[in-house]
Amino acid sequence: MKKTWPDQQDYRFIELAQYLSGLTTQQDIWSEVGKALVNFLSADLVAFAGYGADGGIIEHHWTFSSQECDSKTLSHSVETLRQAISKHDTEIKEGIAETLESGFLTSRLLFTPTPFSLTFLPIIQESQVTAVMFAGYKMSEPFPKDLLNAYLAVAGLVGTTVARLTSEIELRKYRQQLERLVIERTAQLTKTNEQLQLEIDQRKAAEEALLLEKHNLIRILEAMQDCIYIVNTDYEIQYVNPAFSKVFPDHEGRKCYELLNESTQECPWCNIHDVCFGKTMRREWYLPKNKKTYDIIETPLRYEDKSISMLTIFRDITERKLTEEKLMFMATTDELTGLYNRRYFLESAKKELKRAQRYDHHFSFMMLDIDHFKKINDTFGHAVGDLALRHLASIMNNSLREVDIKGRLGGEEFCILLPGTKLDNAVLLAERMRKKIENTPFNNYDKAITFTVSIGVTAYSSGIKNIDELLIIADDGLYEAKALGRNCVVKNIIKNRS
């Protein structure tokens, strides 16, 4: 009689899950899972595989069905099937390797000589594929979708069970260690009893926290829904998951570029042809529709009929991108004035110096300082001093170009780098800015407060080796301006340099 796939009602999945949850550390999980799948899901073959210490693939714990054999012919029938399967070792190892590398299930159809349908499923622990479970039926058709779903769930249960048993083994080892300590330290029991009890309580709390964290993690993973869709080489959408449908509810009957880019032709960034040649691609994409940024992974899907589709996974990274932008702002900006901070200003100045040295460009450099800033703080308070610094930064921003590099080095000391600006033009700009600062008061409640600045100006020449030299030259000009009575601009050029 021709063999048929088991009906969904025959899967006995709940019994299987209960059986796996009852496994203990005294049992061989691989053998028990193999026997359970043969018994509960009527598999003809179940086995496992993974990478060995030398990096090669190792298959283990083969389990064969005995449903069609009596006790007299069982050994001979199993051995015959084992030998037939072994002739397809290369195809089996390819299926194992593909699942280990991609993390997705894959299938093979063998002829032993009778047809034998095999499916390879990843066993995942802590987001890593650690092993492969493969199951086979003496059938010529691919696994039914509901049976595949059952096996995927079983693979997840196996990963969870392995993690649980590993945790139990570690816990048992720890408890054994505690017992040895109790025996060895009996003489010190009075002194160490409180500490030992504390360690036990801490361990118990850690176990409870670990268990709670594990349960929370499982719930989080089940709640997290990355957007997933599959598209063929004709840009036809073959599958979407519920999370994708929430973002793109009108996907039915539309090409992927019509849906994602609202276009009538292929998207400029489309990787489908590269992906279908075997490449896995990764990129970021901003979706104006919901103002979110996604990390996109695109990988090929190969079918038994040799056709290829592209699997795309969208992961929402909007919050991460916003955080990165915020951290970048905090790392480069002076909090009080909004100008570049000392570290980032000097980094930018060094880059500009390298460009000037390489391409023989010119730029100017100025250093300015608020005159009698201490008097402002002493007279009006540090809050007003902060207002003066912000006022100066505002005038600098309004007086300078967007390409000019402006920074606060510290206290009331500021620096400006002017790309493409010659020294005489920089001096004129500094003088205009000095007058504007002198003639533009800022208000503290109903009182108008004015201040002046002293400015030292210099320019890059071929003799300059590093940015510190420019800082010293501009600073010398600044101090000369202070010595001349403040509220003036001093041009300081490089002398006697080769």
User: Tens digit of pLDDT for each residue in 69-117?
Assistant: 444 444 545 566 667 677 788 888 898 999 999 999 999 888 877 888 8
CB 371 within 8 A of CB 452: yes
pTM: 0.46
Which is nearest to 368 in space by CA: 434, 428, 423?
Answer: 434
Amino acid at 211: L
Q: What is the pLDDT of residue 376?
A: 92
Q: Dihedral through CA 43, CA 48, CA 49, CA 53, nearest 10?
A: -170
Residue numbers in the chain where pLDDT is lower than 70: 1-3, 6-11, 67-82, 84, 187, 189, 214, 216-224, 494-498
Instruction: Please tell me the predicted confidence (pLDDT) of residue 200.
Output: 84
Q: Where does CATH 3.30.450.20 sit in the chain?
A: 227-320
What is the rounded distance in angstroms from the CA atom of residue 34 to the CA atom of residue 13? 14
Question: Which residues of the chain are in CATH 3.30.450.40 domains?
Answer: 9-163
CATH code of the domain made up of 333-491: 3.30.70.270
CATH class of the domain at 9-163? alpha beta
Angle separating helix axes 342-359 and 318-332, nearest 10 degrees: 80
Residue 217 confidence (pLDDT): 38
Domain with CATH 3.30.70.270 in the chain: 333-491
Residue given tokens 């090669």 in the structure block: 56
Question: What is the number of other CB atoms lying within 10 angstroms of the CB of residue 387?
Answer: 18
pLDDT of residue 466: 92
Fold of 227-320: Beta-Lactamase (3.30.450)
Write down the pLDDT at residue 74: 43
pLDDT at 224: 47
